[in-house]
Amino acid sequence: MCSHFLRSQRVPSSEMTPEELLSEIWQKFLGTVSVDGDGMGLASLDLNQVTIDAEVPERDGRVVWLIDQIGGFEAMAHRREDILRRRFGRGPAGGGRRMVQPQSDIEFSEITSDADAPSALDAADGVRVWRGLLATADLEFPQNDDLSMLLRLLAEDPDILQDSSGAQWPVKEIVARLNHRFPPPSWTDDRVDNAKRRLMNWIKRLQRKNGLDAVELEALFARVARQHERGGQVSPARPRQSEKLMT
Amino acid sequence: MVEADGGATGGREPSDQSPLPTLDQRANFYLRAVYGDRDFTNEDYTHARNLLLQEMAADIAGRSKTPRSGSAALPEDQAPHRPIEDPANGLSSAPGFQPAPGRRLRPRTVATRIAAICATGAIAAVAVLLFAGIRPTAWLPWNTPAHDYRAAVQPSPPPEPSGRAPSSMESRIAAAQRELDSALNSAPLQPPEIAALLKRGQDLISDGKFRLARLVLEQAVEAGSAPAALALARTYDPSQPERSKVTPDAPPDIAMARAWYQKAKDLGSAEAARRLGQLPAPAAATAPSRPK
């Protein structure tokens, strides 16, 4: 289908291969995140409800379901545009797409999984993890929610937990800072404890709903922060997806 | 006050909800879907995990509002420096969820929670079906009436998660079936397209991207291009000078080289026939399964 789409759009192979488009589609499909109460990031298919015919794909309900989930040709057009934007930047309305010079290398230093890397997640990424956590919490909690306010305090005053150990938090100190930061002073120990439990449960839920362990969730938050640092736009300096996989 | 265990709505997740695939499982789906049912190295899985994490981050960033000024203003020197105390539980056991600076992201072992859900099974099955074993040319019958495609979905479709009306879902399914039908009936590659594929593959080889080059060249080979088969064989041939000019992202494989040289020879390449004679004698147990 990717080949057919590119050919129907008269996209030369020198510009984009079906494999690149296919890679982009699968990344988008598998790279969904379940954050709020939507239940699942990936849609499910009840195999009892469809006909399965591995010999004839067009009669196989799984294939039809997958094409429907991916979004068909319309979504392919979006994914193609994603690839083009990543390479050349966003094109102005009504005009051509201007070339964008790659930005500084330090703007986007990839988190690597290379065990030989001296420091894959460094101190700067530690801060990014907090920022990413805050950005993700924005999706689910209003800013006046207790959890959100507590998280904001912890992110901006990380030293508040430096002397704590285990599950013990300096609740009194947190209450004092929250009352100072968010007047009128209505925070109590119980209220902080409750917000803390909700924060922990929310993080656990994020892990569970997205199949991520702690390290993966940290890496995700750091990347979210990086996306925000780039203003929510994909840097043209990023390598192409397929090429990135292959290098 | 919102219930402690709940989210903003104070609700709980349905207890019968199936678990989502882990990141490792997603990476596996991705690799099999894009590159077929092959053997992948740890590096491949690492790259795939990184790609998916990046996409997940883009998903969140795209849905989130403008970062709050407070979070954006967090100074770099205020990084929390206490490591996670319980690596087994990680975030969930750390007070305040303090990320650990300097901690390496290691490749994870495959998760043991393999409660296979319908979606994962379906995705894996479809991925294998679409991209490994079955090619459009083998999918047969161009004379299958379009309306028969509806047999792919039984009369009582499941309720859509989004809650849209059944008629909307039927129309979407019909559209998906039409697109599949259209793709299956697409015309074979024309010589200019084959030439473009060959050039693209050679460019990728020049860049050391042998794996992607192989995918591109395979298409041209399927269209009957002997030069593409020859170029493909060279990516596996350890004695080819192309390998010394760049840093290939894929190891040589004499058995695969022989198979593709043979394919090129069958397609009429004299150079391939010559190269076949120069390859070391085949080992008894290294017969490749490809090319098909």
- Residue B107 to chain A, least CA–CA distance (Å): 6
Whether ipTM tops 0.85, in short, is: no
The residue ranking higher by pLDDT, B28 or A240, is B28
Are the CB atoms for B204 and B216 separated by under 8 Å? yes
Measured between CA atoms, the residue of chain B closest to residue A153 is: B70
Determine the Cα–Cα distance for residues B26 and B19; give it in Å rounded to an integer. 13
pLDDT at B227: 92
- Supply φ then ψ for residue B247, to 5 degrees: -105, 95
Query: What SS3 state is found at A108?
Result: coil
Residue A17 and residue A86 in one domain: yes
Most confident of A224-233, B46-55, B237-246: B46-55
The residue ranking higher by pLDDT, B7 or A171, is A171
Q: How many beta carbons lie within 10 A of that of residue A183, not counting itself?
A: 8
Measured between CA atoms, the residue of chain A closest to residue B80 is: A158
Q: Show the DSSP H helices in A40-170 as ranges.
A: 61-70, 72-88, 123-140, 146-156
User: Band of the pLDDT at B231, cuts 50, 70, 90?
Assistant: very high
For residue A121, the cross-strand partners are B103
Measured between CA atoms, the residue of chain A closest to residue B106 is: A113
Residue A21 and residue A55 in one domain: yes
Q: What is the extent of the structural domain holding A64?
A: 2-102+232-246
* CB < 8 Å from A in window 120-179 of B: 121-123, 125-126, 129-131, 134, 139-141, 144, 148-149, 151-154, 156-158, 161, 172-173, 175-177, 179
Q: How far lies B147's CA from each of A62, A126, B136, B181, in Å?
A: 17, 56, 19, 10
Matching CATH number, B191-278, of 3.30.450.20, 1.10.600.10, 3.90.226.10, 1.25.40.10 = 1.25.40.10
> Does the pLDDT at position B152 exceed 60?
no
Residue A53 and residue A98 in one domain: yes
> Does the pLDDT at position B199 exceed 60?
yes
Determine the Cα–Cα distance for residues B247 and B36; give it in Å rounded to an integer. 23
| Interface residue B246 vs chain A (CB under 8 A) | no
Query: What SS3 state is found at A168?
Result: strand
Q: What is the dihedral of CA B170, B176, B177, B178, to 10 degrees?
A: 110
User: Band of the pLDDT at B7, cuts 50, 70, 90?
Assistant: very low
Candidate from A20-29, B42-51, B180-189 with smallest mean pLDDT: B180-189
Determine the Cα–Cα distance for residues A114 and B104; give it in Å rounded to an integer. 8
Per-residue pLDDT of chain A (247 residues; tens, 9 = 90+): 788 788 878 887 777 888 888 888 888 888 777 766 544 445 566 666 667 777 777 777 777 777 777 777 777 888 888 888 777 766 655 555 554 443 433 333 344 444 444 344 555 666 678 778 888 888 888 888 888 888 888 777 767 776 666 567 788 888 988 888 888 878 898 999 898 888 888 888 888 888 888 888 888 888 888 888 776 444 333 333 333 333 3
Residue B244: Cβ-neighbour burial (10 angstroms; 0-12, 13-18, 19+): exposed
Q: Residue A31: its chain B contacts at CB < 8 A? A: 26, 51-56, 58-59
> Is A115 within the bounds of a domain?
no
pLDDT in tens, B139-150: 222 223 332 323
Determine, for residues A37 and B60 on separate chains, whether the beta-carbon distance falls below 8 Å. Answer: no
Q: Which residues lie closer than 8 Å to A42 by C-beta, 6 or more apart?
A: A29, A30, A32, A34, B20, B21, B119
Task: Tell me which of B45, B74, B89 to substitute to probe the interface with A (most A C-beta atoms closer than 10 Å).
Answer: B74
pLDDT at A25: 84
Percent of chain B with pLDDT over 90: 4
pLDDT at B167: 55
DSSP A54: T
The residue ranking higher by pLDDT, A124 or B198, is B198
> Is A118 within the bounds of a domain?
no
| Interface residue B11 vs chain A (CB under 8 A) | yes
Which secondary structure element, helix H or strand E, spans residue B111, and what is its range? none
Q: How many beta carbons lie within 10 A of that of residue A81, not counting itself?
A: 13
Counted domains in chain A: 2
pLDDT at B172: 66
> Does the pLDDT at position B109 exceed 70?
no
Mean pLDDT of B111-115: 34
List the Cα angle A129/A134/A139 in 5-degree steps.
125
- Supply φ then ψ for residue A211, to 5 degrees: 65, 35
pLDDT at A184: 80
For residue B153, the cross-strand partners are A50
pTM score, whole prediction? 0.53
Percent of chain B with pLDDT over 70: 47
Most confident of A61-70, B39-48, B226-235: B226-235
Determine the Cα–Cα distance for residues A119 and A109; give it in Å rounded to an integer. 12
Q: What's chain B's average pLDDT?
A: 62
> Is A19 within the bounds of a domain?
yes
Residue A225 and residue A236 in one domain: no
Determine the Cα–Cα distance for residues B227 and B198; give it in Å rounded to an integer. 8
User: Band of the pLDDT at B230, cuts 50, 70, 90?
Assistant: very high
The residue ranking higher by pLDDT, B252 or A245, is B252
Measured between CA atoms, the residue of chain B closest to residue A32 is: B56
Residue A79 and residue A147 in one domain: no
Q: How far lies A156's CA from each of A128, A178, A246, in Å?
A: 12, 12, 39
> Does the pLDDT at position B86 exceed 50?
no
The residue ranking higher by pLDDT, B101 or B26, is B26
Determine, for residues B59 and A31 on separate chains, whether the beta-carbon distance falls below 8 Å. Answer: yes
Task: Tell me which of B46, B106, B179, B225 to substitute to probe the interface with A (most A C-beta atoms closer than 10 Å).
Answer: B179
Residue A159 and residue A210 in one domain: yes
> Does the pLDDT at position B30 exceed 70?
yes
Domain layout of chain B by residue ranges = 17-60+108-134, 139-154+172-186, 191-278
Residue A145 and residue A224 in one domain: yes
Residue A14 and residue A97 in one domain: yes
Determine, for residues A201 and B5 on separate chains, whether the beta-carbon distance falls below 8 Å. Answer: yes
Query: What SS3 state is found at A99?
Result: coil
Determine, for residues B68 and A134 on separate chains, whether the beta-carbon distance falls below 8 Å. Answer: yes
Q: Residue B22: its chain A contacts at CB < 8 A? A: 211-213
The residue ranking higher by pLDDT, B147 or B272, is B272
> Does the pLDDT at position B115 exceed 80?
no
Q: Residue B58: its chain A contacts at CB < 8 A? A: 31, 227, 234
